[in-house]
Amino acid sequence: MRVNRYLVAVLVVGSVSSCQPSASPVGSELSPAAVAPQQRESLPVGIAMNSQISKGMSYADLRKIVVQSGWKPVVDSDCKSNVMGSNHEELCKSNASELCKVCDDLPEVSGCSGDGYCGMYFSNGEQQLHVVTFGMIEDWNVSGSTSRLNVDGWDFSKTDASAKHQ
């Protein structure tokens, strides 16, 4: 499991500033309410979102939270090649596969592997959210426990200055 770099930084700063070990084990979720008000203002925007998203939740539910929170999809101009391969135009002319529409339906998709993993990117100001999903991309808009496309992991980083937003 990936540990959010910001979570680790907050835990380290909290431990050092109080001269006591952190009560929260590394890898636990950080609730915005657990952060002192003076620290909360300096935390990255994404930390507050950690309490709303979880591994295994449907991608549709995560996407709704992210978009309603003001995050914008980051468009990857190579999405169709990354999902379908370099011959995507030819394949999609003769094939009505859902994969041919994935980059149009989900502008945040950067690419998908043949074994069911996809990477998506969103941006909000100076931060970027990278989400990894696993499952059937056709279920990108299916909410709840019946979805076959679920969140496998996520992390926050500084936004790439060359990123295109939709």
pLDDT digits (tens, 9 = 90+) for 4-39: 333 333 333 333 333 333 333 333 333 333 333 333
pLDDT exceeding 90 applies to what percent of the chain?
Answer: 42
For residues 26 and 59, state if they share a domain.
no
For residues 96 and 143, state if they share a domain.
yes
Number of structural domains (the chain) is 2
- The more confidently predicted of residues 7 and 123 is 123
- The more confidently predicted of residues 152 and 28 is 152
What's the pTM?
0.68
Sequence-distant (6+) residues with CB within 8 A of 123 are 71, 72, 74, 129, 159, 163, 165
For the segment 31-85, what is each residue's pLDDT rounded down to a tens digit? 333 333 333 333 455 667 788 899 999 999 999 999 999 999 999 999 988 888 8
- Domain containing 76: what range? 55-165
d(CA 103, CA 134): 16
